[in-house]
Homo-oligomer: A and B are copies of this chain.
Amino acid sequence: MRVYVSRRYHLSASHRLHAESLSADANREAYGKCNNPYGHGHNYVVEVTFSGDVDPQTGMVADLAQLDQFARQHVLARFDHANLNTLDEFSGVVPTTENFAVVLHGIFAAFAHPGLEKVHVEETENNSFDYAGAGDWPGGGTL
């Protein structure tokens, strides 16, 4: 019985969308008001999904207390109340939420559970982004 478990985390961060490789005009064209030099910010919602067989003894797919501890250490301590542009993960990488989702997927892939399915990031209540890795879904790739 493969069950999917999803858990949501909340973090507040700022970013500026600006590609060094583009001219000022091209940046304004690509990003509009998100190119504002002083940045802006969001309350991001990060939802991570794992799948796996239900352990017949405990009735659980994954240890959510361990997942919370992992998320606090590797996601919240690093990205909550941060300016994404100043972080190493976004050195030379525009901190769009597309790229943020890929970065977060790479982080959660290191959690001690083999069944990472996807990372879903809500930038606003009307905008969201999903990344499921490079493979096929399930196991990555498609929604």
Chain A interface, number of residues (Cβ within 8 angstroms) = 71
Does A33 count as interface, using CB distance less than 8 angstroms?
yes
Asked if B101 contacts A3 (CB within 8 A), the reply is yes
Report A34 CB to chain B, min CB distance, Å: 6
Asked if A8 contacts B125 (CB within 8 A), the reply is yes
The docked-state distance in angstroms from the alpha carbon of A17 to that of B59 is 9
When distances are taken between beta carbons in the complex, the residues of chain B under 8 Å from A14 are 14, 38-41, 83
Interface, chain A (partner B; CB < 8 A): 1-10, 12-15, 17, 19, 21-22, 30-34, 36, 38-43, 49, 51, 54, 57-61, 63-65, 80-83, 85-86, 93-96, 98-99, 101-102, 117, 124-132, 134, 137-138, 141-143
